[in-house]
Amino acid sequence: MSNRTKFILLTSIGTIIVIVILFVIYFIYKQNFPVKEGTTVTTPYSITKPKTEEQTFSPSKISPLTEQAKEKSELEKMVFNFAESLGSYSNQSDFQNILSLKNLATSKMQNWIDDFINQEKNKNKLVNNYFGITTKALNIKEVKFNVKNTEAEFLINVQRQEAKDSTQNTKVYFQDVLVKLIKEKDDWKIDELQWNINQ
């Protein structure tokens, strides 16, 4: 066998060996990483969420009422009760609920209360049957409130129920009541009250 023949034979054998090795490598790769048609192979990676700062939410702080707001709120309650009590009486109760309001009134308003009671008593002398009025305050509106000048005014809308002869014979109507206050030393007092019929 000539050298040329040996060379060709060895080259052929080497080529076959290389092809077999490549085929084996391809077969092993395809078994471990199967690829479907129409897909692309990408390097696997893990997804990590970016760190975000933890946020804590607390309810907004409600600022406490100012002294002026507290004072106004107390006055509204006082005026509400005053209007209801002053507007509720009967010829059988001897006006005791109205007399109890005098400690909330200025001397001017106390005189008004005395005059009012005397007028009603004189009317009732001519009336032997029952007569009474019940008043319920519905809402209140600030007209003027000045702490520095120690003056305040509130307008109250009330519902009144008037009964004659018996508590079953009633008439319902509405009124606006303007209540004026002044501050005497450290205490607020009712100084004036005006009834305005609103039917």
Report the alpha-carbon angle 51-56-59, nearest 5: 160
What is the pTM (predicted TM-score) of this model?
0.61
Sorted by where each begins, the domain ranges of the chain are 69-197
Per-residue pLDDT of the chain (199 residues; tens, 9 = 90+): 667 776 677 777 878 887 878 777 777 766 665 555 555 544 444 445 555 555 554 445 555 668 778 888 888 999 999 999 999 988 777 788 898 899 999 999 999 999 988 888 887 666 677 888 899 999 998 888 876 778 899 999 999 999 888 777 889 999 999 999 998 888 899 999 998 855 4
Distance CA 62, CA 5 (A): 103
b/e map 67-95, b = 16+ CB within 10 Å: eeeebbeebbebbbebbbbbbbbbbeeeb
CATH number of the domain located at residue range(s) 69-197 in this protein: 3.10.450.230
